[in-house]
Chains A and B, each alone.
Chain A
Amino acid sequence: MSLTIVIQIYVFVLAGVVGYQVISRVPPLLHTPLMSAANAITGISLVGSLVAAGADHGRLSNILGFIAVICATVNVVGGFLITDRMLKMFRRDTRKRS
């Protein structure tokens, strides 16, 4: 096992722990926006897709990458827009209670 893989596993596990700490503080009120946000963030596969679409690995690689870029971008853009649309609706009570 190379040092790189060991470091990668460190990063993976630590990110998982941070994720657990952060996500477990999200109140049930916001669980649906959280799901939608997590979904938008899954579009991070865009990073790999971009390289495939732009690399000099042959036409097939470009086309597969191109399709991947479209799908991942739909995921990202649609995901963030819908999450924002949802969060915009959450309002505090402005009227005074008697």
Chain B
Amino acid sequence: MNGELPARELVIQAIYLVSSVFFILGLRGLSGPEKARGGMALASAGMLLAVVGTLLHADIVRYDWIIAGLLIGSFIGVVIGRPLFITVPMTAMPQWVALSHAAGAVAATLVGMNEFIHLGAAASPGTMAALGFEVLLGTLTVTGSVMAFGKLQEILPGRPVTWPLQNVGNLILAGVALALLVVAAVNPSLSWAFWTMAILGGLLGILMVLPIGGADMPVVISLLNAYAGLSASAMGFALDNNLLIIVGALDGTSGLLLSILMCKAMNRSFANVLFGAFGAPGAASAKAVGAGEMKEITPEDAAVRLAYAGLVIVVPGYGLAVAQAQHTLRELTDQLERRGVEVKYAIHPVAGRMPGHMNVLLAEANVPYDRLYDMEEVNGDFERADVALVIGANDVVNPAARSDPSSPIYGMPILDVDKSRMVIVMKRGRGAGFAGIENALFNDPRTAMLFGDAKSSLARLVTELKTV
């Protein structure tokens, strides 16, 4: 920082500054769907500038490895990103994001390790601390993301895996890793401390994700995003690069903010998601509700009720996505609208497998986004709804969240479907939901159940509607 910077360095810094501004403005574009694509184009321009600026770096003497790496990486990226070759279905978005995190974190980790090998014992404590954080967060993100991918892709068991003293054990492990980081920072010649720390980071990633159930995985993925960002920031501290610091910090806040929002929407604390192993033994408190019998409805009757309704509010849940029924749902609502029925979609913040997932799935089915209503916007409308059509959603419409303090989901914000004149619930079978909690809504006298696979049930409704 002392003395005059050489002209080349000034140019690089100017490019980096513009690039940082582009990243910030690009993310700003995501505040509305109209400007979002433009914003992302700006952010990619920022990334391009970052690459161009870096290529001017005085340390770079050869370009063969760089060009080869960029070409291979771009090729793989295009194969994944363009539906031309392999189509990543929108339902698989969470695990794809997890895998992509792993790739980014591998890069951060390797750069950190390489820098350590290069600097060796000559590294200053400050640089070593930064490298330590970079590599520790990096290895943790790599293994954690791969585990999350495995669980969501159902290569690994999605249920939480638990063992005795796991939280204490994990905390001790994290403590040891941090202690090793301090050792390596104080005395960089003790390279074993650095490498052991890197291995412990990887182990920690595995052990942290194993006990977390599939439904909580989005929180973890979001958190891993924050870690990957912080790892990039740490790289910036180690390499004296402000661009890395800024973009890493943007990523870190975005990941953290989304994890917190998701936890709020599920009425769970951060600690509870990370250490609670939700979904394994806790479901014991789900008591039988037993107030009345479930009432079934035939597709013919359901079609009639829908056809003569004034306002229908559709509540799509993960079951809809699993059955890939969003397109059939679109057909149904199109028909209803042609009959003059008003249709709204009510989206719970945790519908789907990641925040805002259901919005993407419905957008894919060409549902215009101004028909999709957030929970707060739509909850007041249920009172005047003639039919609430619940498709494959369970816990997010469970009135126990409002009324039963003993319920594990008590206090969770829900969609007030029970306030509408009639509720039709489409569900695979009579069993309890993902979290294993009984739902009194299903036994409510105003509720009618339509059992079966969401897609074929919806298709039946479409056919029946034509004859009404």
Q: List A residues at the B interface (Cβ < 8 Å).
A: 1-5, 7-8, 11-13, 15-16, 18-20, 22-58, 60-94, 98
Instruction: Collect the chain A residues with CB atoms within 8 Å of residue B1's CB.
Output: 2-4, 7
Instruction: Collect the chain B residues with CB atoms within 8 Å of residue A27's CB.
Output: 31-32, 374
Q: CB-defined interface of B74-96 with A at 8 Å, one 1/0 digit per residue?
A: 10111011110000101001001
- Report which of B73, B117, B240, B243 forms a contact with A70, defined as CB distance below 8 A: B73
B233 → chain A closest CB, angstroms? 6
* A81 x B359 contact (CB < 8 A): no
A4 → chain B closest CB, angstroms? 5
- Report which of A23, A52, A91 forms a contact with B369, defined as CB distance below 8 A: A91
Instruction: Collect the chain B residues with CB atoms within 8 Å of residue A3's CB.
Output: 1
B97 → chain A closest CB, angstroms? 5
* A37 x B27 contact (CB < 8 A): yes
Chain B residues 43 to 79 lying within 8 A of chain A, measured CB to CB, are 43-44, 47, 50-51, 54-55, 57, 59-63, 65-66, 68-70, 72-74, 76-78
Instruction: Give the number of A-B contacts (CB < 8 Å).
Output: 378
* B80 x A74 contact (CB < 8 A): yes
Chain B residues 1 to 22 lying within 8 A of chain A, measured CB to CB, are 1, 20
Complex: how many Å from CA A80 to CA B39?
11
Complex: how many Å from CA A81 to CA B104?
15
Instruction: Collect the chain A residues with CB atoms within 8 Å of residue B30's CB.
Output: 26, 30, 33-34, 37
* B233 x A72 contact (CB < 8 A): no
* B77 x A78 contact (CB < 8 A): yes
Q: Does B228 contact A (CB under 8 A)?
A: yes
Q: Does B356 contact A (CB under 8 A)?
A: yes
* B77 x A88 contact (CB < 8 A): no
Q: List B residues at the A interface (Cβ < 8 Å).
A: 1, 20, 23-24, 26-28, 30-34, 36-37, 40, 43-44, 47, 50-51, 54-55, 57, 59-63, 65-66, 68-70, 72-74, 76-78, 80-83, 88, 90, 93, 96-97, 100-101, 103-108, 110-111, 113-115, 117-118, 126, 221-222, 225, 228-229, 231-233, 235-237, 239-255, 257-258, 261, 340, 347, 349, 352, 354-357, 359-360, 363-364, 366, 368-372, 374
Instruction: Collect the chain A residues with CB atoms within 8 Å of residue B228's CB.
Output: 42
Classify the interface of chain A: helix, strand, loop or mixed.
Answer: helix
A37 → chain B closest CB, angstroms? 6
Complex: how many Å from CA A88 to CA B20?
25
Instruction: Collect the chain B residues with CB atoms within 8 Å of residue A85's CB.
Output: 81-83
* B232 x A42 contact (CB < 8 A): yes
A38 — nearest CB in chain B belongs to which residue? B254
A36 → chain B closest CB, angstroms? 6
* A54 x B114 contact (CB < 8 A): no
* A36 x B107 contact (CB < 8 A): no
A25 — nearest CB in chain B belongs to which residue? B31
- Report which of A13, A18, A61 forms a contact with B118, defined as CB distance below 8 A: A61
* B72 x A60 contact (CB < 8 A): no
Excluding A31-B354, A68-B106, A72-B107, 8 further A-B contacts by CB distance (< 8 Å) are A29-B372, A34-B27, A44-B50, A44-B247, A48-B239, A62-B65, A78-B78, A83-B40
Complex: how many Å from CA A53 to CA B374?
47
* A98 x B23 contact (CB < 8 A): no
Given A19-B249, A32-B355, answer yes or no on A39-B62 (Cβ-Cβ < 8 Å).
no
Given A33-B360, A81-B82, answer yes or no on A57-B118 (Cβ-Cβ < 8 Å).
yes
B126 → chain A closest CB, angstroms? 6
* B244 x A44 contact (CB < 8 A): yes
Complex: how many Å from CA A82 to CA B96?
10
B441 → chain A closest CB, angstroms? 23
Instruction: Collect the chain B residues with CB atoms within 8 Å of residue A63's CB.
Output: 65
Given A12-B249, A87-B40, answer yes or no on A49-B107 (Cβ-Cβ < 8 Å).
yes
Instruction: Collect the chain A residues with CB atoms within 8 Å of residue B366's CB.
Output: 89, 91
B223 → chain A closest CB, angstroms? 11
Instruction: Collect the chain B residues with CB atoms within 8 Å of residue A67's CB.
Output: 69, 106-107, 110
